[in-house]
Amino acid sequence: MFKLKIPNPADLTNVVAGTVTRTAQLGLNVAQLVLNLHQTFHSEIASLRKNINHKVDVELVDKFKKTGVWQIHETTGSSEITLTRTFHAEKITLVFSLSDTEQLGPNIPTIDDTGSASQEQTTEHVDLDDIGTAVTCTMTIVKPLKGALLVKCIAVNNHFLIDNVSYTDDASVATRKDAEADYRRSNIYIAPQFDTLGEPMQQGLVAFLEERGFNDVLAKFILEYSKQRERVQRINWLEGLEKFITKDQGSGLIAT
């Protein structure tokens, strides 16, 4: 026969007292952890501000901006950066994102004269400072009444590595930013890999793009500017977190 066991009142008192004690300790721990986090924010932000241009070719970035050939468009808090320019009647747009930046290992692709890549294998020790950064880019060239070219490429090792060059006779498909345009872009004929094209075609396309400012100077700017903006965006992110997790000095409560 089942017998109901009635707990001892003294045991219940001990359980409640222990729970209250642990809750109080947890409250103290949380307060201390949040205080430590607040101090960490200050330390990280100060360090980033001090080294915001560390290992960045600031002179190159400033010189590129002053030429005024390319206009820079970006929004605080957004990882996407857009460069625009005109070339005669053509409208050229190059888009890259800080979230599409990748750190490469010691086998960094090298770019030959046609814009194709070769992989240099090495077993020698590579200093971490020599490890490259790759930034994925998309360039669109719109010509009135003639459609648009879409160039998929990567800025790496101060050069551009071209993946492919596609064409559409509907320029709006290349430039619009909506679901329908995204779908139609996905159905554009997938151009052959650039390095599989004949050498005369590769050289001709590279010359065509270089005439429009698609060159080593632009590639290096993108790589340097990405490093600089990454630090700025990280500072903004840390400041946003700090502001959100700020202790309300009046009530003593943590904002949620």
Q: Which residue in this structure is represented by tokens 């046609």?
A: 114
Q: Which of 111-120, 122-131, 193-202 has the lowest average pLDDT?
A: 122-131
Is the per-residue pLDDT at 242 higher than 80? yes
Where residue 15 falls among pLDDT bands split at 50, 70, 90?
very low
User: Residue 1 has what pLDDT?
Assistant: 53
Contact 138, 150 (CB under 8 A): yes
* Segment 216-238, tens digit of pLDDT: 999 999 999 998 888 888 888 89
Mean pLDDT of 35-59: 83
DSSP string of the chain? ---PPPPPHHHHHHHHHHHHHHHHHHHHHHHHHHHHHHHHHHHHHHHHHHTTTTT--HHHHHHHHHH-SSEEEE-TT--EEEEEEEETTEEEEEEEEEEEEEE--S--EEE-TTS-EEE----S---GGG--EEEEEEEEEEETTTEEEEEEEEEETTEEEEEEEEEES-HHHHH--SHHHHHHHHTS--PPPGGGS-HHHHHHHHHHHHTTT-SHHHHHHHHHHHHHHHHHHHHHHHHHHHHHT-B-TTT-PBP-
Q: Tokens in use for 212?
A: 């429009």
* Segment 132-182, tens digit of pLDDT: 689 999 999 999 999 999 999 999 999 999 999 999 888 777 777 777 767
The reply to whether the predicted model has a pTM over 0.85 is: no
* Segment 57-86, tens digit of pLDDT: 788 888 888 998 999 998 877 889 999 999
User: Residue 74 has what pLDDT?
Assistant: 87
Within a 10 A sphere around the Cβ of 214, how many other Cβ atoms? 23
Percent with pLDDT over 90 in the chain:
35
Contact 96, 226 (CB under 8 A): yes
Q: How far is CA 75 from CA 83, 94, 174, 244, in A?
A: 13, 15, 21, 20
Is the per-residue pLDDT at 22 higher than 80? no
Residue among 172, 177, 127 nearest 145 (CA): 172
